[in-house]
Copies of this chain bind each other. A is one copy, B any other.
C-alpha cells in the first residue's frame, strides 16, 4: 500500500502544498498540488488563518498518513522567516490535531533526495520532480515544486531500506543521496519502458 505524504513549503504569501503517493517500490505518484496564497494587504492574523484553513481542507480531503515540512533556518530577511514560521505553526497544529506526525527536512536534504546533490538549483529540483512523478510538464504552480520534492524526500526516507529493491552489489558504493537519485532515475525510466 502506498504511503501518502503531504509536503509543505510554508510561507504567508505563498504556501506550497504537494501530495504524493509513494509505493513500496518507491514509485511516486502525484495526488494533488496547490499553492495557498494570501495578499500582503490582509491583516496578519487573517493571513495565518487562511493558511490554516487551506491546509486543513487539504489534510481532510486527501488524508495523508505523513506530513513533511521544510525546516527553516536563519535567513537574511527576518520578516520572511517570521511569516514562514507563523505559517508553519498552524500547519504543525493542524497535523497534530489529526494525529499526524510532522517530519522536518532541510532544503539541502530535499535537494539531495530528489537530485542526488544538496546544492541543486530550483530548475534542477523542478526537472527531477517532473521526472520522478512522470509528468508531461513541470508541476504547476511552479512554486509548488519544492513542496512536492519535500513529500518525495520524506516518502523515500521513510520507506524501509528493503523497499529499495535489495541492497546488492549495485548499492555497495552508493551514498544515501546517490541511492535516492538512482531510485529517482528508475522511477522516471519505468513508465517510458512501459509505453
Contacts and interface: CB of A to CB of B under 8 A. Distances in A.
Interface string A39-56: 000011110110110000
- Chain A residues touching B, majority SS: helix
Interface in A80-95: 81-82, 84-90, 92-93, 95
A23 interface: no
Contacts of A46: 96
A97 B49 contact: yes
Contact of A44 (B43, B51, B81, B102): B102
B96 A89 contact: no
By Cβ-Cβ distance, the 10 closest A-B pairs, closest first, are A89-B89, A85-B85, A49-B96, A86-B89, A45-B96, A48-B92, A45-B92, A45-B102, A52-B93, A74-B78
Given A45-B100, A74-B78, 13 more contacts: A43-B102, A44-B102, A48-B96, A49-B96, A72-B82, A73-B78, A81-B85, A82-B85, A82-B88, A86-B86, A86-B92, A89-B90, A90-B93
Interface of A: 43-46, 48-49, 51-52, 67, 72-74, 78, 81-82, 84-90, 92-93, 95-97, 100-102, 104
